[in-house]
Amino acid sequence: MPVIEITMAKASVETRRALIERLTADAIEITRIPAVEFTVLIHELERESIGRSGRTCADIMAEMK
């Protein structure tokens, strides 16, 4: 049973659904393993829990507005 894991900032239901569909489709195409065998796990983090260049992603996003 192949498992695909992704860790990212919180996302909408639509975004998570699209990720699951596309990641599974690409994995099927590459491996030729049937879809029923794949499990996709999305680990979501608050933007305050993600840092880049010494700052939180929440701070970076706030400055971009």
Calpha distance 26→32 (Å, rounded): 10
Confidence at 65, pLDDT banded by 50, 70, 90:
confident
Which residue type does 37 have? E
Q: What are φ and ψ of residue 21, in 5° steps?
A: -65, -50
pLDDT of residue 10: 95
- Its pTM stands at 0.83
In order of start, what are the domains of the chain with their CATH numbers? 3-64 (3.30.429.10)
- In percent, the amount of the chain with pLDDT more than 90 equals 92
